[in-house]
Amino acid sequence: MKRPLAMIVGTGHAVPKKILTNSDIAAMGIETTDEWIVERTGIRQRYVAGEGESLTSLSAEAARAAMKVAGVTAPELDIIVLGTASPDRLLPSTAVEVQAAIGATRAAAFDISAACSGWVYGMQIAEGLMALGGAETVLVLGAETLTRITNWKDRNTCVLFGDGAGATVVKRSTKGRGILSAYTRSDGTLADLLHRPAGGALRPVTPEVLADGSNCIAMAGREVFKNAVRSMADACDRALDGAKLAASDIDLLIPHQANIRIIEATAKHAGMPMEKVYVNVDRYGNTSAASIPIALDEALRAGRIKEGMTVMFVAFGAGFTWGSLVVRF
């Protein structure tokens, strides 16, 4: 495959109406403080899906915004790839519900399960399907309603997550623009460090599961932190090598937004000053698969990315999964 083959022609994002601040969480009776959350994570608030909002509705809103920028109509979409860890239903995929909601009548639609790396994985799937020749216009979504699978009694996790959707329209490359390099890896031996112990087919939901919250996200935070720093560093190195570029060639780094300390460690390893790193974890919390496409859409709309600039994306999440992309805009 000769790169660049696939380029980003439109982005959009959507978030729920309700904002939950750190103080709001403390006021819910959870033993935490705004100071602890800000100091240990950089998070100040997150969006929480409410009545009438769903992964489908947020994804469809983000998709419409991205298609508008791209000048693409829904029936032109060949593929819809949706990365998520919090689908509306376990069967069918949320991607097909988004297809129906936006009227993408010709598309093949499917979800992928790569947790926080979902959008980076999805972009590579889009590029691969385009290389095979069967797809010209692909919608890649990263979207989550994580607050619905959060254990609101567990202060180790409930302060971290937020909801939202980010969408990207991908088309065939022109003028040397598009994905210059891509890298993905997984390590399933560490699956139990960040998971939902029950609620799947192996351990279905029972009254006991609901009572102990084991259908919700459980995480060994410190271990995840260490692996995130190590793997995101690896992913930055590999993406730069693949694109035959140095960190100084990168105009903006958009890392997964889980924790400001992980973002700072990643930037330091990559040798990128924080002025060239996009950060919005303070306003969104960790939105898993949605975090990078939301940040990308914000950065484009704010004029932080201009034509000709080179952007590096790096993600890490449950699985573990990790990966990176270097993209010329």
Sequential DSSP letters for 50-101: -TT--HHHHHHHHHHHHHHHHT--GGG-SEEEEE-SS-S-SSS-HHHHHHHH
Among 109, 114, 116, 294, binds ligand UT7 (CB under 6 A): 116
B/e letters for 290-306, b = 16+ CB within 10 Å, e = fewer, are bbbbbbbbbbbeeebbe
Q: Which of 22, 116, 215, 216 is catalytic?
A: 116
CA distances from 314 to 8, 17, 139, 295 (A): 16, 28, 20, 12
CB of 143 to ligand UT7, least distance (A): 15
Q: Lay out the site mask for ligand UT7 across 299-318 (x = CB under 6 A, - = otherwise).
A: -----------------xx-
Q: Lay out the site mask for ligand UT7 across 40-79 (x = CB under 6 A, - = otherwise).
A: xx--------------------------------------
Q: According to the binding rule CB under 6 A, does residue 156 interact with ligand UT7?
A: yes
Q: Which of 195, 215, 216, 256 is catalytic?
A: 256
- Segment interacting with ligand UT7 (CB under 6 A) among 1-9, 29-37, 76-84, 321-329: 29-37
Q: d(Cα 142, Cα 165) in Å, to the nearest integer?
A: 6
Q: In this structure, is the dihedral angle defined by the CA atoms of residues 15, 21, 27 and 28, taken in order, positive or negative? A: positive
Among 19, 23, 24, 32, binds ligand UT7 (CB under 6 A): 32
Q: According to the binding rule CB under 6 A, does residue 151 interact with ligand UT7?
A: no
- Segment interacting with ligand UT7 (CB under 6 A) among 90-98, 142-150, 223-231, 300-308: 223-231
Q: d(Cα 230, Cα 267) in Å, to the nearest integer?
A: 12
Q: Is residue 116 annotated as part of the catalytic site, yes or no?
A: yes
Structure-block tokens of residue 110: 């499917």
Residue ranges binding ligand UT7 (CB under 6 A):
32, 36-37, 40-41, 116, 155-156, 159, 194, 221-222, 224-225, 228, 258-259, 262, 286, 288, 316-317
